[in-house]
Amino acid sequence: MGVRKGFLILQVLCFMAVLVGLVAGQQIVDRSIATVSDGVRVELITYSDLLRQLALQPGSSVEQPSSEDLNRALQLLINQRLFALEAERLPREAPTQAEIDREIAQLVSLFPSTAEFERRLRMVGFASVKDENFVSLIRQRMNIDKYLTFRFRAFTVITAADISKYYDQVFVPDFRRKYPGVVMPTLADKQTEINQILTEQKVAADIESFLDEWKRRAEIVILSEV
């Protein structure tokens, strides 16, 4: 680690050492979990960041999170921090309030009720879906989504040959196995659906390749096991 990197990380850690949060009604001292750096900027991930991530995931416990859940949240947040660092190099138009409201509404719909969702938010330090810090978190995530859309999805091209190959080699065999005796949908019938499938596959593969390369160049330091 270079002197400059070490100094930057030390500055962040000294700042975070004094933070205190409220979780499940009990006062706990927040702790630093990891840092992600591109050599110039340092992004810090804290234990409270992990809990906030879990609070937004249906089926994840915030009261007694398992080590497995915490580590999954950590890997997700590391990826998000890498994307955030890269997105700063190519800033996009900020999400509008209407877009943020729709994003929050979609997130709330994943839970049994708004009350249940806000209960989870309160456990990790947010007052409600109107909490300025919560809205800021959603805005940051939407900025990353906008970057990913521009960086990967906008330039993804699926050709007619790609669609025909998928139809012949994947769709037709699967359909015959699942629905023997049923009339086979034509390529024209399934063209739009197959295009969407191939687009998502290509975007996912490009993002994974990007992350692999980014992680080789970035400095990721695990400060505390979870």
Whether 62 and 54 have beta carbons less than 8 Å apart is answered as: yes
Tell me what pLDDT residue 93 has.
82
Q: Is the pLDDT of residue 5 over 70?
A: no
pTM for this one? 0.76
pLDDT band at 29 (very low <50, low <70, confident <90, very high): low
Whether 95 and 142 have beta carbons less than 8 Å apart is answered as: yes
Whole-number Å distance between alpha carbons of 125 and 116:
15
Q: Is the pLDDT of residue 15 over 50?
A: no
Whole-number Å distance between alpha carbons of 212 and 225:
22
Task: Render pLDDT for 53-76 as a digit per residue (tens, 0 to 9).
Answer: 999 999 999 999 999 999 999 999
**Which residue in this structure is represented by tokens 């500055």?**
11
Q: Find the angle CA(74)-CA(143)-CA(151) to the nearest 5 degrees.
A: 95
Task: Render pLDDT for 161-199 as a digit per residue (tens, 0 to 9).
Answer: 999 999 999 999 999 999 999 999 999 999 999 999 999
Q: Is 160 helix (H, G, I), strand (E, B) or coil?
A: helix
Q: Is the pLDDT of residue 101 over 80?
A: yes
User: How many of the other CB atoms lie within 10 Å of CB of 114?
Assistant: 13
Q: Is the pLDDT of residue 18 over 70?
A: no
Tell me what pLDDT residue 6 has.
41
CATH node for 3-154+207-222:
1.10.4030.10
Whether 162 and 201 have beta carbons less than 8 Å apart is answered as: no
Q: List CB contacts of 169: < 8 A, sequence separation 6 or more.
A: none
CA atoms within 13 A on the CB side of 200: 5
**Domain boundaries, given as residue ranges, for the chain:** 3-154+207-222, 160-205
Whether 61 and 122 have beta carbons less than 8 Å apart is answered as: no
The percent of residues above 90 in pLDDT, for the chain, comes to 72
Whether 176 and 184 have beta carbons less than 8 Å apart is answered as: yes
